[in-house]
């Protein structure tokens, strides 16, 4: 998959042990609005997460979108957009480097069930499914900037907006 860009906090040492994680994100657009999870602080998060052991990236994407948004994805339309890699000191294990490889996919919805199955941490953060335009997502996320994923998702939308200004290729 094409590397879109790298986010490097440069807050770690090169010789530290590395912890790697892979995640997927579903970029779902309808009528100029993007499907996101929005928390009680106003942060927008692109739906997705990490695969369970033995689970493919596509199956993880389908499961995460169903659990977080209550959407059933059209499996005939899951198109790769690109990858973002993040490097930073691990938030939970000091002295270790955290590396996240996030794969973004353009997706379409077959059905909106309205039934979510969020994790305890998502519930505690007050996440709810939401639709918002690209400028609102960027603006609101920059106002909050509490969570590390907020940087990645915000910068993805900044990248997407720039792509759209230069071409129609990245329109949903």
Torsion sign (Cα): 148, 149, 150, 153:
positive
Would 58 be classed as within a structural domain? yes
Residue 146, helix vs strand vs coil: coil
What's the pLDDT score for residue 146?
Answer: 73
Tally of domains within the chain:
1
What's the pLDDT score for residue 169?
Answer: 54
User: Domain with 86 in it: what CATH number?
Assistant: 3.90.79.10
Which tokens hold the place of 78?
């899951």
Would 172 be classed as within a structural domain? no
Residue 168, helix vs strand vs coil: coil
Would 99 be classed as within a structural domain? yes
Burial of 133 (0-12, 13-18, 19+ CB in 10 A): middle
What's the pLDDT score for residue 60?
Answer: 98
What's the pLDDT score for residue 62?
Answer: 98
What's the pLDDT score for residue 132?
Answer: 98
Would 111 be classed as within a structural domain? yes
What's the pLDDT score for residue 81?
Answer: 98
Residues in the chain, pLDDT under 50: none
Would 127 be classed as within a structural domain? yes
Would 171 be classed as within a structural domain? no
Residues 36 and 45: their CA atoms lie apart, in Å, by 5
Q: Which domain holds residue 27?
A: 3-166
Closest by Cα among 34, 14, 15, 13 to 25: 34
What's the pLDDT score for residue 147?
Answer: 72
- Predicted structure pTM score: 0.93
What's the pLDDT score for residue 69?
Answer: 98
């Amino acid at each position: 998959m094409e590397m879109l860009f790298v986010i490097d906090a440069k807050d770690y040492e090169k010789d530290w042990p590395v912890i790697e994680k892979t995640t997927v994100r579903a970029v779902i657009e309808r009528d100029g609005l993007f499907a996101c999870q929005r928390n009680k602080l106003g942060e927008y998060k692109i739906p997705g997460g990490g695969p369970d052991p033995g689970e493919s990236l596509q199956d993880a994407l389908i499961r995460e979108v169903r659990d977080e948004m209550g959407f059933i994805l059209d499996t005939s339309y899951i198109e790769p957009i690109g990858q973002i890699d993040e490097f930073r000191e691990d938030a939970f294990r000091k002295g270790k480097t955290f590396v996240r490889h996030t794969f973004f996919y353009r997706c379409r919805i077959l059905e909106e069930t309205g039934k979510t199955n969020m994790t305890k941490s998502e519930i505690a953060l007050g996440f709810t499914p939401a639709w918002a335009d690209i400028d609102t997502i960027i603006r609101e996320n920059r106002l909050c900037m509490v969570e590390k994923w907020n940087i990645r998702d915000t910068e993805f939308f900044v990248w997407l907006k720039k792509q759209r200004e230069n071409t129609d290729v990245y329109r949903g």
